[in-house]
Structure 1
Amino acid sequence: MPAYHSAFNEDPDARQVGNTAVLPIRTKIRGPAPIGDPAQADIIDEALDLFRANSLFRNFEIKGPADRLMIILILYVSDCLAKIGSARTVPTQIEASKMLNTLSVDNFSIPGDAGFPLNSHYAAPTSRQEADYLRQYLTQVRQELASRLTDKLYADGTGKPSKWWMAFQKRRFMNRSLGS
């Protein structure tokens, strides 16, 4: 059974930095990301929807630049769940939101950096300006993803994260982690 790929791979207007797509997102967080259509799903919604299914796969064939962005987002969701799961006590939604917001703005590796786990599948940005743009874009996307993830985790109103999401905290997509 093949893994699920991004529907944004065929977007001819998507900007690329290195060979990673920079796609529009719906957000109120400031940053360089293009603003997406509020009526349509964006790459963050797609990554959250496909996270649990794709995290079961050890291999993933990259079919386009949006798949590369989705891989980064899926690995980040995995790191977020691990961060929440490693807390001494079960965090409330507010505590989890603070933890994940801190995680999203922490220093992290981008494609081309020595610490990035999948450098063999990614092209490095061609200039310092592109590298800075990609880092700012990924920071903004990570903040928005953390916000939407906490909403999904605590959607049932019990004050505890959903066990159906937390069951994936030890799963590693492609046996990798961003290490954040």
Structure 2
Amino acid sequence: MPAYHSTFLGEESQDTRTIGNLSLLPLNTKYRGPAFESNSDYDIIEETLDLFRANSFFKNFEIKGNADRLLIYGILFTSDCLSKISKTMSHKESTRVLNNLSLDNFALPGDISFPLNSLYLPPKTRSDADLLRSYLTQFRQELAERLLNRIYKDDSNIPSKYWLSFTKRKFMNKSL
């Protein structure tokens, strides 16, 4: 059975901005950044969270387009977020930890410390690198917030064991 791919592959058009081979898709977000506002309620972040648990079982992933690369990045970041949350953390503590994680300095494609350089092309110019960094920061902030909303949906003091059970899984045997 193959892994689940992004539904936004067909929506990549001439209007979609790409840096390297990573699509900058529209987001529904309250955070400031370069992402365009999405026209629908379902965006790449919702898709990432919906497909995370199913795709985390796969060690191989065939990339069919640039939207799949953003999906991979989102799944790996979600995995990092889950590894930072413990079973005894409250929603407030987890929010602080994940905000720090999403705003931390991180490697971009092309950097030596970026783990997926074989799958991603580096940005061509310095301005493209800055745009990609600001887009991914906005993406990470929104993803962390929506993940916390799902993890603490039932109880604000105890995270969901169904989400935390995926802390040891590594999608494609990689991590950011």
TM-score if structure 2 supplies the norm length?
A: 0.96
Runs (4+) of structure 1 exceeding 3 A deviation are: none
Q: 2:107, 2:72 → 1: CA distance?
A: 14
Q: Deviations over 1:78-98 (max 9, x none)?
A: 00000113xxx7111111011
The question of 1:2 aligning with 2:24 is answered no
The question of 1:83 aligning with 2:51 is answered no
One-letter amino acid matched to 2:53: R
The answer as to whether partners of 2:90 and 2:157 remain within 8 angstroms in 1 is yes
1:16 partner SS? strand
Superposition deviation, residue 158 in structure 1: 5.4
- The 5-angstrom pairing of residues 98-137 of structure 1 reads 98-137=96-135
Superposition deviation, residue 14 in structure 1: 1.7
Q: Deviations over 1:66-110 (max 9, x none)?
A: 00001000000000000113xxx7111111011000000001011
Question: Counterpart of 2:64?
Answer: 63
1:58 partner SS? coil
Q: Deviations over 1:41-65 (max 9, x none)?
A: 0000000000000000000000000
Q: 2:25, 2:147 → 1: CA distance?
A: 19
Q: Deviations over 1:6-29 (max 9, x none)?
A: 011122132100000000000111
**RMSD, matched Cα:** 1.0
Q: 1:133, 1:33 → 2: CA distance?
A: 10
Q: Deviations over 1:100-123 (max 9, x none)?
A: 000000010111111110101111
The question of 1:73 aligning with 2:74 is answered yes
Task: Specify every segment of 5 or more residues in structure 1 that has no aligned partner in the other structure, as ranges.
Answer: none
One-letter amino acid matched to 1:52: R
Identity %: 57
Q: Deviations over 1:111-140 (max 9, x none)?
A: 111111010111111100000100000000
The answer as to whether partners of 2:91 and 2:156 remain within 8 angstroms in 1 is no
Superposition deviation, residue 31 in structure 1: 0.8
Q: 1:31, 1:19 → 2: CA distance?
A: 20
Superposition deviation, residue 5 in structure 1: 0.2
Q: 1:45, 1:130 → 2: CA distance?
A: 25
Q: 1:102, 1:36 → 2: CA distance?
A: 26
Superposition deviation, residue 40 in structure 1: 2.6
Q: 2:111, 2:9 → 1: CA distance?
A: 24
2:27 partner SS? coil
Q: 1:158, 1:77 → 2: CA distance?
A: 19
One-letter amino acid matched to 1:62: I
